[in-house]
Amino acid sequence: MGKAGITVSPLAPASFPDLPRIAGVEFASAAAGVKYQGRTDLTLIRIAKGAQIAGVFTRSATRAACVLDNQAKLAGGGGAPDGAAIIVNSGNANAFTGARGQESVDAVTGAVALALGLPATNVYSSSTGVIGEPLPHERIVDSISDLVDKLDPAGAAEAARAIMTTDTFPKGASAVIAAEGGEIRITGIAKGSGMIAPDMATMLVYIFTDAKISAPLLQDALTQGLGSSFNAITVDSDTSTSDALLLAATGQSPAAEILSLDDPAGRAFIRALHGVMLELAHLVVRDGEGATKFVEIRVTGAASDEDARKVASAIANSPLVKTAIAGEDANWGRIVMAVGKSGAAADRDRLTIRFGDMVLAENGWRAPDYDERAASAYMKNQELLIAVDMGLGQGAQTMWTCDLTHGYIDINADYRS
């Protein structure tokens, strides 16, 4: 069972991974009672002096005060010579809360800055949960001294649990790179289950590395990985007001400094970072609200990458496609529908549709050897591949989604209760 007796997603990994500690990063979690009673809902992360910070955020026009505050702070360059901190609460998004929203952000980040001896400009905050409710920031402020006392380099797993809302399992991923002079470690945690759609960010994500790397290079490495990870997943086509991804490099690895993303060291770092990003993104889809199927949508042969993305998104976000998947119905006609409505260039007679290795439709018609029984049997798998070749060009895009079940309604019909 997950938090508050919630049944864990059938797509969840067997256990939380053993994440490598990152030199210069400490975590602490507490139960502040922001919304939930009897469970951790607050996390403090302290990052050592000399760190470099990068980030990406939701582009929602109604984004929360904490997101706006973080964006303003990162506009200063991302360097943290005096160190930095991240404070995260679950249960309340502090979004659409008027001027009080910024007052709450200032109160929380100011209290963290005072407790840790940091400039407030280096304290980042995140809030996730109900929109439109004033944040009871006094409860957070009152918990900060307890958090400071409990800071621990081994606290990532508990932090991953504390930032959960409708999540059924905590999410973590890591990588270790053999580099010149020693290892470089990367550890990440995330939360996300609903209100997930490509428009960076799509959740709360915190990634840490001990690499020596400048903030501009760190930001570039992060941005390069978005299109194939966090901006390539969708649960319900909805974009949150509050979501953020923060990436911190402490520079405490013995490995040589990464001076370019185009040399072997830089390319190895990017591969590892993007691998962690993709794994976390997949975990969010696997915990999609009510999900029972993990679905890869692979579009090739489009007139352009942009067209391929339109097609993949139309399929991944279609309620008709997603409910057919939930019902284990091999209704490939709904894929045809989604391609047609996507706005991408399409030619009926060049289109090929596959479920797994099976060709269902090609050359403008059902495939000659189409086997309804085999297609229906395939749909019973927990992990599915829907592949569409447009037959028009070289454009390609892969996205990941989940099915749409009654469980999604059950979770969201009484989310505020």
Contact, 44 vs 85, CB < 8 A? yes
- Specify the pairing of strand 84-92 against strand 123-130: parallel
| Buried/exposed 62-74: b ≥16 CB within 10 Å, e otherwise | ebbbbbebbeebb
Query: Terminus-to-terminus CA distance in the chain, angstroms?
Result: 20
Contact, 29 vs 189, CB < 8 A? no
Q: Quick one: which of 55, 42, 54, 49 has its CA closest to 25?
A: 49
Is the four-CA dihedral 259, 263, 264, 266 of positive or negative sign? positive
The conformation of residue 8, written as its DSSP 8-state character, comes to: P
Contact, 401 vs 297, CB < 8 A? yes
Examine the residue annotation and report whether 202 is marked as an active-site residue of this protein: yes
Beta strands in 250-382 (DSSP E): 294-302, 352-355, 358-362, 365-366
Distance set, CA 332 to CA 234, 329, 358 (Å): 20, 9, 12
* Alpha carbon distance 236, 169 (integer Å): 19
Catalytic residue among 43, 165, 166, 202: 202
Beta strands in 2-83 (DSSP E): 25-30, 42-47, 51-57, 79-80
| Buried/exposed 3-30: b ≥16 CB within 10 Å, e otherwise | beeeeebebbbeebbebbbbbbbbbbbb
> Which positions are catalytic?
202
